[in-house]
């Protein structure tokens, strides 16, 4: 059996589809309040006729990574486990909950995997858990993490989550870690990276000079499955297709959706000013902040990622970001007619 956490998100939904298509028996963890529409949408888009029947093969197990009994109840010896569940937030008020879900949840799953003697664990981490190199240098899997007050809470949560996986490896667990950059693909258009398509659709006018790594969701799930089927263990791999300016990505999305491209650059000065004014507005009027300090600063960073280790291990060819954006835009248009 293959057990998947986080199966209702952008990454998990595509992973479940790929595994079902490969003939695997899937059990996926979901909360009682989980929305399964993203998963169903993936099956129905890629399999016009067989989608509902394929989706029906997924067995959903109600539980939570913070609920140890629900994990022990479903896992068994020899299982493959893919851990994609995580909370992503740049709201300082969400810190405690995010640490519980991401760090404690990963610790719980690692302990359950050890107790049940599963075959192997694949943990979907993030490049946010890797350190920052000298300015202009590429980030590699060996770039050293340095704790500082300026690190986003999300990064800290993923770094500490990885430490739980490494602890499990030391205790005898076969496991591998993937560190994707910004993942492009269809999902809940109001959440995560899929939100970029909705923002452009609604007339996004602003961009920053930041640069980041981007990768297609199909490449991430493909790497995860290949690594799980290999003899590789106790390794981490950056999964990234290209390092691209945010402006270029927004322009690609605008072209794919037939919308105007953003034209106004937000400089670092105005980024700092905007998040402060936004925070003041939330304090005075109780409005929900639109941009946090962490998002404002991260959007200005220029980060470059090396994928040589993954290519050396798996020999993969990664989908160009222009193609990834074009494919995702078509799905957006299809689902928002």
Q: Check residue 6 and report its DSSP letter.
A: S
Query: CB burial class (10 A; 0-12, 13-18, 19+) of residue 45?
Result: middle
In which region does residue 263 sit, left (phi positive, over 0), alpha (psi from -120 to 50) or beta (all else)?
alpha
Q: Check residue 192 and report its DSSP letter.
A: G
Give the three-state DSSP class for 300. Answer: coil
Q: For tokens 């899929």, name the residue.
A: 194
Rounded mean pLDDT of 27-32? 92
- Is the per-residue pLDDT at 296 higher than 90? no
Query: CB burial class (10 A; 0-12, 13-18, 19+) of residue 30?
Result: buried
- The model's pTM is 0.93
Rounded mean pLDDT of 223-235? 98
Helix 321-335 × helix 246-257 angle, to 10°: 40
Could you report the per-residue pLDDT of 43-69, keeping only the tens digit for each? 999 988 898 999 999 999 999 999 999
Q: Tell me, what's the pLDDT at 284?
A: 47
Rounded mean pLDDT of 206-211? 88
Angstrom CA distances, 274 to 72, 95, 209, 279, stand at 47, 22, 16, 9
Taking the C-alpha atoms of residue 291 and residue 310, their distance in angstroms, rounded to an integer, is 34
Rounded mean pLDDT of 241-268? 93
Query: Would you say 278 and 271 are in contact if contact means Cβ atoms under 8 Å apart?
Result: no
Structure-token pair, residue 67? 């609920």
Q: Tell me, what's the pLDDT at 57?
A: 95
Could you report the per-residue pLDDT of 92-109, keeping only the tens digit for each? 788 899 999 999 999 999
pLDDT band at 281; cut points 50, 70, 90: very low
Angstrom CA distances, 266 to 43, 208, 236, 255, stand at 38, 5, 35, 21
pLDDT band at 280; cut points 50, 70, 90: very low
Q: Tell me, what's the pLDDT at 283?
A: 43
Question: Taking all residues of the chain, what is their mean pLDDT, rounded to a whole number?
Answer: 90
Domains and CATH numbers, the chain: 2-192+210-242+303-322 (3.40.50.720)
% residues pLDDT > 90 (the chain) = 70
- Is the per-residue pLDDT at 224 higher than 80? yes
**Which residues are within 8 A (CB) of 8 and not within 5 positions of it... i.e. 6 or more apart?**
30, 34, 35, 36, 38, 39
Taking the C-alpha atoms of residue 175 and residue 230, their distance in angstroms, rounded to an integer, is 11
């Amino acid at each position: 059996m293959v057990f998947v956490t986080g199966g209702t998100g952008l990454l998990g939904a595509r992973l479940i589809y790929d595994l079902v298509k490969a003939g695997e028996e899937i059990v996926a963890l979901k909360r009682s309040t989980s929305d399964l529409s993203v998963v169903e949408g993936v099956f129905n888009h890629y399999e016009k006729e067989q989608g509902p029947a394929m989706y029906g093969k997924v067995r959903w197990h109600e539980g939570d990574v913070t609920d140890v009994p629900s994990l022990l109840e479903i896992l068994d010896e020899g299982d493959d486990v893919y851990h994609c569940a995580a909370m992503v937030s740049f709201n300082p008020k969400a810190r405690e909950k995010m640490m519980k879900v991401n760090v404690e949840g990963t610790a719980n799953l690692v302990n359950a995997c050890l107790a049940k003697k599963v075959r192997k664990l694949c943990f979907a981490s993030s490049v946010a858990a890797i350190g920052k190199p000298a300015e202009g240098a590429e980030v590699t899997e060996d770039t050293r993490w340095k704790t500082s007050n300026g690190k986003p809470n999300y990064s800290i949560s993923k770094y500490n989550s990885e430490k739980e996986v490494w602890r499990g490896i030391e205790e005898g667990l076969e496991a591998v870690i993937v560190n994707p950059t910004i993942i492009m693909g269809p999902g809940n258009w109001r959440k995560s990276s899929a939100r970029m398509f909705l923002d452009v659709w609604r007339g996004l006018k602003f961009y920053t000079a930041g640069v980041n790594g981007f990768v297609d969701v199909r490449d991430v799930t493909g790497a995860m499955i290949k690594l799980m089927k290999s003899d590789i263990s106790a390794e981490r791999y950056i999964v990234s297709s290209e390092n691209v300016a945010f402006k270029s990505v927004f322009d690609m999305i605008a072209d794919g959706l037939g919308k105007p491209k953003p034209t106004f650059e937000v400089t670092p000065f105005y980024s700092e000013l905007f998040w402060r004014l936004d925070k003041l507005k939330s304090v005075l009027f109780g409005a929900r902040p639109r941009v946090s300090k962490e998002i404002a600063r991260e959007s200005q960073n220029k980060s470059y990622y090396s994928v040589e280790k993954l290519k050396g291990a798996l020999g993969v060819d990664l989908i160009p970001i222009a193609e990834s954006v074009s494919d995702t835009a078509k799905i957006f248009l299809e689902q928002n007619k």
